Chain A
């Protein structure tokens, strides 16, 4: 009887301790978003990370690592793929942005970034994953330019090229016409 009660007490205490531990631990939520409206091969792609600490205590030794942009498929333009924050306070957040350039067109699955952090001091690091942007289609540069570029220089050159074909015949006709219309005007008066 005594041993059963002791066992129950131990279990309840452990439960209490773990609850107390949860109350003191940091909890990070990570979002990973693509800031571009369109993903185009050969054009910059901006990825934004935000880490929110929704727990009651600070997270320490926060390490963000994103291996989803392989060197074979993307050129890294700016920002580090591996970042470390020593301390993220309770109810605060940090953000990080990287810029990469897709090297070839096609469908790409952009997966989560990995974060490890110490939720409770003295405890081993906790693993967490960001939101997953998912599947995107990377447009070929030519196709994108065809749809979105204003091409105003090309249009200006086109206008300049067509001007002689339209302007000159009109001018020549108009000159002759004016001459003969003017001829009969004095007669009308």
Chain B
């Protein structure tokens, strides 16, 4: 269920960030909305998959890093919560720390992955569309810049370092 919830979050966010650039291509590059609707739909779908792919891979990398960083703080928090309670064994305490660490790392990795990938995707898209491909026809500009930006974050996410 948790996995399903995470997937829904990723695909939902990916769909939003993939659809927003249509506004720029419609109003700034002056692409007709109705005429280009099929192109917009296909590209948005492809980019959604690539962005969601990037989210998942990045989350995996970030989670391990974050878990290592939060170890001390969570240990401290659990210890403080338990206090002098003698009923809690050492093993139980370790299990609680592990569980909490996993929960926090999962949450932070998810949010950071979405933020990080969205930021890079949008910056790359704007750079490619307005600096690199500005002389191309709007339709080609849209397709190439969207897929390049999404491809870039997907590629970066497959590296060992993000």
Chain A contacts to B: CB under 8 angstroms: 142-143, 145-146, 151, 154-155, 157-158, 161-162, 165-166, 169-170, 172-173, 176-177, 180-181, 183-184, 187
* Residue from A170, A176, A180 within 8 A of B115 (CB atoms): A170
- A154 x B20 contact (CB < 8 A): no
Tell whether, in the assembled complex, residue B29 and residue A166 are in contact, meaning their CB atoms are under 8 Å apart: no
Residues of B within 8 Å of A146, CB to CB, are 28-30, 138
Which residues of B sit under 8 angstroms from A173, Cβ to Cβ? 108, 111-112, 115
Most chain B beta-carbon contacts within 10 A, residue among A146, A157, A172, A180: A180
The answer to whether B16 and A183 touch across the interface, beta carbons within 8 angstroms, is: no
Residues of B within 8 A of A142 (CB): 30
Interface residues of B (CB under 8 A from A): 13, 16-17, 20, 23-24, 27-30, 70, 72-74, 76-77, 104, 107-108, 111-112, 114-115, 118-119, 122, 138
B23/A158 in contact, CB under 8 A: yes
* B residues less than 8 Å from A145 (CB atoms): 30
Residue from the list A157, A165, A172 in contact with B23, Cβ < 8 A: A157
Shortest distance between the CB of B122 and any CB in chain A (Å) = 6
Contact A180 B73 (CB under 8 A): yes
* A158 contacts across to B, CB distance below 8 A: 20, 23-24
Nearest Cβ distance between residue A137 and chain B, in whole angstroms?
18
A176 partner residues in chain B, CB cutoff 8 A: 104, 107-108, 111
Q: Is the CB of A166 within 8 A of B107?
A: no
A171: shortest Cβ distance to chain B, in Å?
A: 8
Other A-B pairs beyond A166-B122, A183-B74, A183-B77, 17, CB < 8 Å: A154-B27, A158-B20, A161-B20, A165-B16, A166-B118, A169-B118, A170-B111, A170-B112, A172-B107, A173-B108, A173-B111, A180-B70, A180-B73, A180-B77, A183-B76, A187-B72, A187-B76
